């Protein structure tokens, strides 16, 4: 579960995908991609235009570099029941 609180999220930035991903280093997230696919893994490094994500679910020995402008949504566990 993330230590980030809902009020810490930036929903108004023109770069909200990048700004919010920077708040989750080392956290497991699911990325919904514009093309319809999904990637789940651990946020490692966020750059100006790309994200380096590690420990991909189902491909634990693989990492990925994802263009930030191809991400349509970020899913992250924020709370327990």
- Residue 80 CB coordination number (10 Å): 5
CA distances from 81 to 24, 29, 77 (A): 20, 18, 11
User: Where do the domains of the chain lie, and which CATH numbers do they carry?
Assistant: 6-75 (2.30.30.100)
What global pTM score does this model have? 0.85
pLDDT digits (tens, 9 = 90+) for 9-62: 777 888 899 999 999 999 999 999 999 999 999 999 999 999 999 999 999 899
């Amino acid at each position: 579960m993330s230590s980030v609180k809902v009020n810490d999220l930036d929903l108004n930035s023109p770069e909200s995908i990048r700004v919010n991903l920077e708040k989750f280093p080392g956290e497991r997230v699911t990325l919904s991609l514009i093309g319809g696919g999904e990637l789940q893994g651990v946020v490692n490094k966020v750059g100006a235009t790309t994200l380096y994500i590690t420990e991909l679910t189902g491909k634990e020995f693989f990492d990925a570099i994802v263009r930030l402008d191809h991400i349509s949504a970020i899913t992250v566990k924020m709370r327990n029941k």
